[in-house]
Structure formats: structure tokens, C-alpha cells
Amino acid sequence: MKLKIILLSMAMITLSCQNNSPSMSNEKNTQHTNNPYYSRTDTTVLNVPDAEWKKVLPDSIYQVARNKATEMAFSGKYWKFEGLGIYYCAVCGNALFRSDSKFASSCGWPSFFQTIRKNSTIYKTDNTYGMSRTEVLCGRCNSHLGHIFDDGPPPTGKRYCMNSIVLDFVPDKQ
């Protein structure tokens, strides 16, 4: 059973790492044309069943956001990215992080020390794989984003370790 879970996890990781170029998308780009729930302005909490998310999301995003897969370390499009702007949830468009809260971390995933606003994310205890961690979920659509740890820089001491594939980046207007 454990081998089956590991093999399934590895398959989901492979699927989740297929897109490695930063997306500097507009409000609705081709990735979101089939997703009626995506909005960068609406903050209404969504209650959408997974079956509906499966229909409207690309499979690679669905696997991480809804099945809690994880990108392979050092492979995501934003782990070394340094653009100035805002990171949004790739599932629903919820604003999550400003680029000025991003920091270089050796963990292999994009890391932030604070969210853009208090209710941007929600948290859940995660005891999978024999570890005790805190899962970070989108505060609007309840999608898996990554985990939070207490080894980040000041002023918060937090490290939001996020999967690039569930993030959209929009650069600041010059």
C-alpha cells in the first residue's frame, strides 16, 4: 500500500512540473478561459466540489491544488523568479503574496514570509508521510498551496513554502 502511494505521488509530481515558464497573465488568460471561478477581484469564499474543479482546471494544477501533490524541489517556475508584483492562486485568482515578501530559501520552492492579507490563506494540520506540518490552503477556494514553517526571516519568522504551479504572477505596472 505504501509503495502504491509513493508511486502515485511521484506520478502527480511529474504531472505538476510540466509548465516551467513564469506566467505573466492578464485577468483571464488561456489557462483560465474554462474556469468561471477565477477572479482577481472577487474575494467571496468558494464552495466548489472537486468534480467541478477537475472539469475546469488543467490536470497538473488539479493534482497539486486538490490532490495535494507536490512539485519536485528546484523545478517550479517561481522558485528562483525575482519579478516585482503579486502572486495569485492559480485556481481561483485570490491574491496571496507580494513579491517583497518573497525571499531566497534553500528549500527548492518559492518562499514567502507573509501573506498579502490575513485571510488570504487558511491552515490545516498535516500529519502525512510521518511528519507533523501545517498545510497552507487558499482562503478563497481551499486549494492546497504548500506548507508553512517557523524558520523564515524577520519580521515574521515564517516560511510559506509554496508550489509554483498553484501560483500566478502578475507584474507591477511600470
Residue 86 predicted with pLDDT over 70? yes
CATH number of residue 77's parent domain: 2.170.150.20
Cα separation, 161 vs 111, whole angstroms = 5
Query: Would you say residue 25 lies in a domain?
Result: no
Query: Would you say residue 28 lies in a domain?
Result: no
**Average of per-residue pLDDT values in the chain:** 86
- Residue 32's pLDDT is 83
Which position among 17, 89, 138, 161 bears the catalytic label? Answer: 161
- Residue 15's pLDDT is 36
Beta-carbon contacts of residue 107 (< 8 Å; ≥ 6 apart): 73, 159, 161
Residue pLDDT, tens place only, 19-70: 333 444 434 445 688 999 999 999 999 999 999 999 999 999 999 999 999 9
- Residue 95's pLDDT is 98
pTM, two decimal places: 0.83
Percent of the chain scored above 70 by pLDDT? 82
Average confidence (pLDDT) over 71-86: 94
| DSSP per residue, 99-118 | GGGEE--TTSS-EESS-SSG
Query: Would you say residue 103 lies in a domain?
Result: yes
Domain that holds residue 123: 2-19+35-171
Query: Would you say residue 8 lies in a domain?
Result: yes
- Residue 27's pLDDT is 43
- Residue 30's pLDDT is 52
Distance of alpha carbon 107 from the chain centroid: 15
Query: Would you say residue 45 lies in a domain?
Result: yes
Cα torsion 133, 138, 143, 147 to 10°: value is -20
Residue 138 among the catalytic residues? no
Residue with cell 508553512: 148
The total number of structural domains in the chain stands at 1
Query: Would you say residue 63 lies in a domain?
Result: yes
